[in-house]
Structure 1
Amino acid sequence: MEITVVEGDLTQQHVDAVVNAANRHLRGGGGVDGAIHRAGGPAVLEDCVRRFPHGLATGDAGWTTAGDLPARWVVHVVGPDHRAGETDRALLLSCYTRAVEVADEVGARTLAFPLVSAGVYGWPREDAAAAAVEALRSVAATTGVTEARLVAYDAAAAALLRDALGDAPGDAAGD
């Protein structure tokens, strides 16, 4: 799986699946979650309600339609809320690995990820970037996903992600 970094709008990525950093309820919200629900239109929320009436646990993932997004699916992950005391890094790593597992289930080969939990949930951004790369590299050889695109919303986040790719063991392509 190739791991790439791009700076841009997650909702405009032309990939098989866009990963949503969602809250436990999967009913839309702020940040990435709100942007995906707005851009995807009502079909995303309707599918969330139908498929996940009780939401998802922290660290878990599930898929819905992407509605009006250029992607085919949205893979929703529930990141840990660092500000609320959810500081178990394994939960953050699980968001990435579970997203790839769910992508495999639906046949998605290209994924676009935000930096999970690094916004309103307050996970330290440098560690969030390192965790994203670490988790994706850990599953690179065991998946049908060919590209995991880390989408940075600004230059600072893109630099953190590029640094994490360069500092992590293995090559920048992630094999």
Structure 2
Amino acid sequence: MSDLTFRNATAADVPALVEFVTSAYRGETSRVGWTTEADLLDGNRIVPEVLLADIDRPRSRIVLAERDGVLLGCAHVAEEDGAGYFGMFAVRPELQGSGLGRTILGEAERTAAVDWRLPLMRMTVIDLRIELIDWYVRRGYRRTGQTKPFPATDPRFGLPLRDDLRFAVLEKELP
């Protein structure tokens, strides 16, 4: 991914990030890519107050991947319970499948392993998203067997279109 740069999001990035992340996950624009949640959820994917809290808290980084100042992808990496946590991963739908996502995931893993010296990375993925879970498995993640409930009553994270949503917990040991 030549000419790709990474930087940490700031409060000034929040409005653009809300729009970017939502367009990658929800609605018709998300259907251009292969990671859409448009058939599972409607509404918000992220809201400004959650982003601002993630930007402000210690050992938390919202990674922005840009080329020539244009936002191409992002992810949130943070320390939680002695491990790295990876979430809010979004790539422009038309660039999904280009290797950009793998590069962003690598930067998040580098942050957790090298900068913060954490032993593993953990994430939660809606368990119905088998194709996405398989993508993570090909990158060294494994299902832990644990699940977590989806926050179905919290509109900050979306409005479920079905009542069987839950998260699978995935982990990967970091070098």
Q: Does the TM-score normalized on the shorter chain lie above 0.5?
A: no
Q: Which has the larger radius of gyration?
A: 2
As a proportion of its length, which structure holds more strand? 2
As a proportion of its length, which structure holds more helix? 1
Q: Which has the higher contact order (CA 8 A, sep 6+)?
A: 1
TM-score scaled by length of structure 2: 0.39
TM-score scaled by length of structure 1: 0.39
